[in-house]
Amino acid sequence: MAYQPDRSQYPQPGADGKLDIDLTSGKYLKLWQGPQHPGITGNMAVELTVCGDEVVEGKVHVGYLHRGFEKLMERRTFIQCFPIVCRICVPEPDFNEYCYAAAVEELAGIEIPEQARWIRALILEMGRINSFLMYCGGQAGSYGMGVISQWTTYVRDLMLDRFEELTGARIYHMFILPGGVRDTLPEGFAQRMEETLREIEITMKDVYETMYCNAVFKKRTVGLGVIDPELLDSYGVTGPNARAAGVAKDVRKDQPYLIYPELDFEPILGQDSDIYTRADLRRQDILQSVDLVRQILAKMPKEGPVMSKLPNVLHWKIPRGETYIRGECSRGEYGYYLVTDGSGFPRRVNVRGPSYTHAMSLLERMIVNINIADVAGLMVSLHTYPPEIER
Amino acid sequence: MSIRDLLSPFTAWKYLLKNPVTIPDPLNDRPGSARYRGFHKNDNEKCIGCGTCEAICQNGAIDMLPVKGTATQEGDSGLRPRIDYGRCCWCALCVDVCMTGSLTMSNEYKWVESDPDAFRFTPGVDEKFWDNAELGYQRPEDHRLVEAKRVTMEEMDADTRINSFAEIVNGYSIEQAKLEADRCVACGICIATCPTHMAIPDYIDAVREGNYERGLKLLYETNPFSNVCGRVCTRKCESACASRHEGEPIAIRWLKRHIIDQVPFEKYREIIGEPDAPTGKKVAIIGAGPAGMTAAFDLVRMGHEVVVYEAKAAAGGMTRYGIPEYRLPYDALDRDIELIVSLGVKVHYNTRIGSDIAMAQLEQDFDAVLLAIGLQEGRQTRIPKSEHEKVYRAVDLLDKITSEEAFELPHCAVVIGGGNVAMDIARSLARMQKQQYDQVDVVVTAMEDQQHFMADADEIKEALEEGIIIRDNCGPQGCEIDESGHLIGLKTWKVLSILDENNRFAPTYDDSDETIHACDTVIEAIGQFSDTSLLGEELTEKLEWNRGRIDIDSNGRTSESWLWSAGDCVSGPDVVHAVADGHRVASSINSYISSNESSIDKQS
Amino acid sequence: MSALSIEGRHIGLPLRETKWMREFYTKLAKQFPLGELTEQRDNLAFISIEQPQLRPLLMHLRDKEGFSHLVLLTAVDWIEEGHFQLTYLLSNRTNGTDIGLRLMISRDDALMESIHDIWPTAATYQRELREMFGIDFPDSPGVYEDFILEGWNNIPPYRRDFDTLEFSTENFAQRPGRETKDPAQHMKQQLYPDGA
């Protein structure tokens, strides 16, 4: 016979539909998870109201790393915005560079060379791999498996080496600028990349054995943190969070950009929409991206320009207009809404990070009635990057 | 859940047997990659201190400051970028935009100091341990944030232009001008090089903005001969342009002309404004060339009464009587003159000072007098038999062409000289020959080799296209005359060297390498001098002289307190220099006649 | 699509026109009064609308036309024209198209009805808009709670009249010892100080 908890001690909704929580009753406790939390890249706090060890209400608090990029860009010229956009999302900066550059190019009517389109896609896939690797470590860490993050950090570091030799920097690459990319692939890059990819595959096999085939991990994640597929659209859920619920939301397929139509892949889908499904889906996404990097390196043109002619960037003005550019980052739909007004500065830049919807309204809804110990796991399973929430 | 799920995690134990992946000594064993954007390097010799790196830096991390041992000179501000590593984000836009390619990055990324202010440094000046690093980020080839190539100026082709004196250059269209103006990084290091310090970046900005009236106003602030300078300026600014280092300099001259082309002449007066209230002071100016007319322009706007005496029938000096019409059409010059005259300047044409009116008279009647008589006389080679009637001075012939005075057009001409005047006369004769004889036969001989001709490269190129033959390294030795007294040729020897070890003119020849250039006319184009006989003996005695030219102070004033001199006659031949002179003497004359000094002088 | 150019250098934008967008717009315009249509690319268009149309149009687009995904809701400050532009960007995944609804509201009395009942996630956007632009969305859950800023008592910072440079100059000390020279001015001082 299944265990039936006694829920009589838990708060009941009042007439207005809100929970009747009397903090003076002694039955409830306020707990803060965060703003520093090892499972989250950046700072974000969840204010939990617990009854026993069950969460009855959760409120997400952001504001710990608001840097005001959208506002800062309003007083920078179009080229001057390029170095700062990558800083909006620390663990996966390249989508900022791509979306910003593509938005500027569209409004200014600039087409980029073919090779640059391939190199952009290469960088974006490399970035996705890195971001997923970081997630794997965090997800494992939230269930006490610290060693996994050491392994993924190692292979991520190898990928950072590839970034370094390609772009000249490890974290903030500042490589995709309006007009194309800075440079072509260095000599011997494909071969070194292949070595790195193999190392990633070996490590992911070990991660699979120790994390995904781990009784404790399965016990704690299967069936927990389910996102009802009905909620996907109303909460703006995209990316792996949506695909784990069986909905093939993938910008690379829905609105193919760059050279994705020329690559052979199918969005990976899950069924159960729980923490385990999402974790496993991201593991498979790493392997898929590894494959995509291989495809790109094999198919891309090896010569030709990588940069289009730009107007003099020091007094570059773009006519009035607005556009929205999106890409499929590791967490879902990453987008830039750019408005220009004919001057040399953007009128408005709005960054749509997927965590904005995932970590705010969706998390607050999902967190109710789960165990305190599972909060971290759930939070990480939505793959939240707080810097993109508040920019 | 299976038995596998219980056992599988234990596979992690195999890592006990693996070697650690960490780098034991990362400070030494982990250099940055070849493209790494590490600490900055700057090639101090290449850097011109244009400050474009500062302009593009979105962090405000770069300051431009003077450094010891780097002097400010033409084309180099003497400033060098100092970078504040408290603000730098290593985006390398400064490297990408650098106009000379002097700024690069090393692959070094470790730098430890106890003093935080040490991280504000001037690369290439403050010595750093990475200064000689071989690796590091450099702007990739083809990665340019600023266009290197000039927008081509469309010209009439050689076959068409040789048939007439029509202007060769078409001028930019609005789109072309905007594109060309767009290349300018507005660093402003050209301003110092321009003799009259035109606000070049500002008027180029006006072209970008399409605000031509503002552009015209800016032009007239420093140069009332913008029609002329927009076409024939020696454009020293372009040789100082930051864009020339890794591409072609901005076509500053053509952009100036573009502004002129865009504003209807009827609007000029309104844009330039009305002169100040009359002061009652009178200034006489001798010579209606660029220097004299610029001074007249300034002085009349200051409210003084200005009277210009011009020996010829029209104003403009050498710009009219020297420069051929295909380079500077008369109507363009007329616009400049007409505007100045419209401000209230009185010009007496065909009035020669010295013969028609005496200098003493001017001294008497005016508060100040400006001598701007130019260089009107051609120098002679004085080679044997060059006194022949078919040996001309280039300036005299050019004068005849402008004045439409008849002369016997040579069937075959040889020009001596490699400067712009030589090209002017050669190309003018070529046009006339084409019209009258339907064939061009003009030879230009000069002592220099063609690479070192004084003439503009464009002039030489166009002359060659028009069928003119250039024979360089030819030193003229004498004219050849047949028994009946006809000029039949010019004899030259091959030049071995022109200057001696002290850089003095002392040519040496190879007399075994002799050429006779057959011709019926020889034209000497080896320089001009000034005829100062109008001063009269007494004044010539009184004035101080310097190597055959009237001695002037830095304001253009002679040793006589009422007399100034400006333009080619004291500064050598150059239009824009003459304009600059005109401004300088106008300001000096103004301060003199506005003070009581002049009236005191008069009474004494 | 390729840009207009001279000698390979970009000088302007070509005109775009996309067929399905026009047809869709014509169809939609029969049911709703619509403003200007801007066809940005073949799968993105912006349509200007008035406030009364917002709710029925959003419901129609979501339920009948497949635009079920609210991509973002944000504002643009057109301070010179005295209004805020609210942009509701909707996406239809099945045919891969996006429509942005542009709605101008007065800057002086910035107030808009909430759409959190259509898309719950809109509540977060509206909370941010109230904080950053001072646009009020009455009845939106938690709209008056601090979102990103805490204890902010200046004008809403994303409004154009909020000057970030002035704010930072007033609130933060500059590192001493910074000075810079303009190349042209410096050359003037060095080479021709009297201006001659």
Window 38-77 of B, Cβ < 8 Å to A:
52, 55-56, 58-59
Is B384 in the same domain as B366? Answer: no
Is the Cβ of B16 closer than 8 Å to some Cβ of chain A? no
- For C122, nearest residue in chain A (alpha carbons): A235
CA–CA–CA angle A330, A333, A337 (5° rounding) = 130
Q: Is residue C40 part of a domain?
A: yes
Return residues 75-134 of B near C (CB < 8 Å).
Answer: 77-79, 84, 86, 117, 120
* Token representation of residue A59: 């409120």
Beta carbons within 8 Å of B446's beta carbon, 6+ residues apart: B416, B417, B418, B422, B453, B470, B471, B472, B473, B474
Chains with 3 or more CB pairs closer than 8 angstroms to A?
Answer: B, C
Residues from chain A that touch C87, judged by Cβ atoms under 8 A, are 322, 337
> A342 CB near a chain B CB, below 8 Å?
no
User: Is A59 within the bounds of a domain?
Assistant: no
The total domain count for chain B is 4
The reply to whether B522 and B398 lie within a common domain is yes
Give the structural domain span for A385. Answer: 73-390
Q: Which two tokens stand for residue C194?
A: 């009297």
Quote the CA–CA distance of C73 and B17 in Å, as a whole number. 54
Structure tokens at A363: 């998390």
Q: Which residue has the higher pLDDT, B601 or B240?
A: B240
d(CA A300, CA A312): 29
pLDDT for the residue numbered B379: 87
d(CA B526, CA B520): 19
Residue B579 lies in a domain: yes
Strands (E), B402-503: 413-416, 442-445, 469-471, 474-481, 487-499
Whether residue B386 is found in the same domain as residue B372: no
pLDDT tens track for C98-147? 899 999 999 888 888 999 888 888 888 998 999 999 899 888 888 888 88
Tell me: do B117 and B212 sit in the same domain: no
- For residue B431, give every residue at least 6 positions away whose Cβ sits within 8 Å of its Cβ, in sequence order, or none: B162, B163, B164, B165, B326, B466
Length of chain B measured in residues: 604
Name the percent of chain A lying above pLDDT 90: 38
Together in a domain, B435 and B485: yes
State whether C148 and A63 contact (CB < 8 Å): yes
Domain count, chain C: 1
| CATH code of the domain containing C11 | 3.30.460.80
Among B147, B191, B587, the residue with its CB nearest the CB of C9 is: B147
Tokens of C32: 């709703």
| Distance between CA atoms of residues B311 and B286, nearest Å | 9
**How many residues are recorded in chain A?**
391
Q: Is A144 on the interface with B (CB under 8 A)?
A: no
Is there a domain that residue A46 lies in?
Answer: no
Distance from CA of B149 to the nearest CA of A (A): 11
B183: closest CA of chain A, how far (Å): 6
Q: Could you give phi then psi for residue A211, rounded to 5 degrees? A: -105, -55
Token pair recorded at residue B468: 């003119």
User: Please, which pLDDT band fits residue B324 given cuts at 50, 70 and 90?
Assistant: confident
Question: CA–CA separation, C180 vs B76, rounded Å?
Answer: 16
DSSP string, B202-246: HHHHHHHHT-HHHHHHHHHHH-TTHHHHHHH---HHHHH-GGGTT
pLDDT above 70: percentage of residues in chain B:
98
Asked whether residue B489 falls in the same domain as residue B387, the answer is yes
How far apart (Å, rounded) are the C-alpha atoms in residues B106 and B134? Answer: 7
- Position B163 scores a pLDDT of 83
**Across the interface, do C71 and A347 touch by the CB < 8 Å criterion?**
no
Q: What's chain C's average pLDDT?
A: 84
pLDDT value of residue A185 = 92
Partners of A323 on chain C (C-beta within 8 Å) are 40-41, 44
E strands, B239-353, are: 282-286, 305-309, 346-348
Q: Is B34 on the interface with A (CB under 8 A)?
A: yes
CA distance A176 to chain B (A): 11
The reply to whether B426 and B516 lie within a common domain is yes
Asked whether the predicted pLDDT for residue B26 surpasses 60, the reply is: yes
CB A379 within 8 A of CB A39: yes
B59, β-bridge pairs = none
Domain-located, residue C186: no
Same domain, yes or no, for B329 and B442? no
CA-to-CA distance for C36 and C181, rounded, in angstroms?
49
Residue B134 within a domain: no
pLDDT at B599 (0 to 100): 58
- Say yes or no: A24 contacts chain B, CB-CB below 8 A: no
Is A42 part of any domain?
A: no
Q: Crossing angle for the helix pair A78-85 and A94-108, nearest 10 degrees?
A: 160
Which of C41, C69, C95 would you mutate first to test chain A, the one with the most A CBs within 10 A?
A: C69
Q: How many Cα atoms occupy the beta-carbon half-sphere of B47 within 13 Å? A: 31
Task: Kindly report the average pLDDT of chain B as a whole number.
Answer: 87
Taking only the tens place, the pLDDT of each residue in A171-191 is 899 999 998 899 999 999 999
Residue C114: list chain A partners with CB under 8 A.
none
A315 and B CB contact within 8 Å: yes
Which whole number is the average pLDDT over B539-546? 84
- What is the spatial distance between Cα C68 and Cα C59, in angstroms, rounded to a whole number? 9
B405: left (phi over 0), alpha (psi -120 to 50) or beta: beta
Same domain, yes or no: B515 and B581: no
- The verdict on a CB contact (< 8 Å) between A254 and C164 is no
CA gap A346, A108 in Å, rounded = 12
For residues C162-180, average pLDDT: 87
Range of the domain at C56: 4-176
Per residue in B189-209, pLDDT tens?
999 888 888 899 999 999 998
Which residues of B19-102 form beta strands (DSSP E)? 40-42, 62-66, 79-84
Give the pairing type, strands B549-550 and B545-546.
antiparallel
Q: Identify the residue among A324, A339, A355, A389 best suited for mutation to test binding to C, counting C beta carbons within 10 A and taking the highest.
A: A324
Q: Is residue B20 part of a domain?
A: no
CB C65 within 8 A of CB C43: no
Is the pLDDT reported for residue B211 higher than 80?
A: yes
Same domain, B424 and B350: no
Apex CA B312: angle with CA B309 and CA B317, to 5°?
A: 85
Q: What is the CATH number of the domain that holds B257?
A: 1.10.1060.10
Domain ranges, residue B510: 378-527
Between CA B123 and CA B83 the distance in angstroms is 8
Question: For residue range B47-74, what is the model confidence (pLDDT) as tens digits?
Answer: 999 999 999 999 889 999 999 888 888 8
A209–B contact, CB cutoff 8 A = yes
Strand partners, B480: B489
Structure confidence by residue, pLDDT tens digits, B474-499 = 888 888 888 888 888 888 888 888 88
Residue A246 CB-density burial (10 A; 0-12 exposed, 13-18 middle, 19+ buried): middle
| CATH code of the domain covering residue A362 | 1.10.645.10
Q: Which chain C positions have a beta carbon within 8 Å of B192's beta carbon?
A: 184, 187-188, 191-192
Please tell me the predicted confidence (pLDDT) of residue A289: 93
Considering only CA atoms, which of A271, A251, A274, A248 is closest in space to residue A261?
A251
Whether residues B416 and B470 share a domain: the answer is yes
B293: helix, coil or strand? helix
Asked whether residue A48 is domain-assigned, the answer is no
pLDDT score for A3: 64
Q: Rounded distance, CA B366 to CA A164, Å?
A: 77
Find chains touching chain C: ≥3 CB pairs under 8 Å: A, B
Residue from B138, B143, B179 whose CB has the most chain A CBs within 10 Å, to mutate:
B143
Rounded to a whole number of angstroms, the distance between the first and last alpha carbons of chain B is 121
Does some domain include residue B18? no
Q: In Å, how far is B353's CA from the nearest CA of chain C? A: 29
A213–B contact, CB cutoff 8 A:
yes
| C196 in any annotated domain | no
pLDDT digits (tens, 9 = 90+) for B395-416: 888 888 888 888 888 888 899 9
Residue closest to B201 by CA, chosen among B228, B234, B240: B240
CB pair distance less than 8 Å for A214 and B35? no
Q: Which candidate from A62, A310, A365 shows the least CB-CB separation from C148?
A: A62
Model confidence at C17: pLDDT above 70:
no
**According to the model, what pLDDT value does residue C5 have?**
57
ipTM, two decimals, is: 0.86
The Cα B424–Cα B463 span in angstroms is: 9
Residue B267 has pLDDT above 70, yes or no: yes
Among C residues 94-123, those touching chain A with beta carbons less than 8 Å apart: 96, 98, 100, 119-121, 123
A29 close to A11: Cβ distance less than 8 angstroms = no
Question: Counting Cβ atoms within 10 Å, is residue A144 exposed (0-12), middle (13-18) or buried (19+)?
Answer: exposed
Do B332 and B446 have their domain in common?
Answer: no
**Residue C4's pLDDT band (boundaries 50, 70, 90)?**
low
Q: In the predicted model, is pLDDT for residue C1 greater than 50? A: no
Tokens of B140: 């990739």
- Phi then psi for B452, rounded to 5 degrees? -110, 20
Q: Answer yes or no: is B129 within a domain.
A: no
**A26 in a domain, yes or no?**
no
> What integer pLDDT is reported at residue C2 of this predicted model?
46
- Three-state SS string over B472-490 comes to CCEEEEEEEECCCCCEEEE
How do residues A331-375 score in pLDDT, each as one tens digit? 899 999 999 998 999 999 999 988 888 888 888 888 888 888 888
Q: How far apart are CA B529 and CA A130, in angstroms?
A: 77
CA distance C13 to chain A (A): 5
Return the residue of B nearest to C190 by Cα. B72
Structure pTM?
0.85
- Total domains in chain A come to 1
Other C-beta atoms within 10 Å of B554: how many?
9
Distance from CA of B162 to the nearest CA of A (A): 37
- For residue C175, give the DSSP letter: P
Q: What is the pLDDT along chain A (391 residues), one digit of tens a residue?
A: 456 666 666 777 666 667 777 777 777 888 888 787 766 677 888 888 888 888 888 888 888 888 889 999 999 999 999 999 998 888 889 999 999 999 999 898 888 899 999 999 999 999 999 999 999 988 888 888 888 888 999 999 999 999 999 999 998 999 999 988 999 999 999 999 999 999 999 999 999 988 888 888 888 888 888 888 888 888 888 989 999 988 888 888 888 888 888 898 988 988 888 899 999 999 999 999 999 999 999 999 988 889 888 888 898 989 999 999 999 999 899 999 999 998 999 999 999 988 888 888 888 888 888 888 888 888 888 888 888 888 8
Q: Is the dihedral of CA A352, A355, A360, A366 positive or negative?
A: positive
Return the closest-CA partner of residue B454 out of B419, B421, B489, B479.
B419
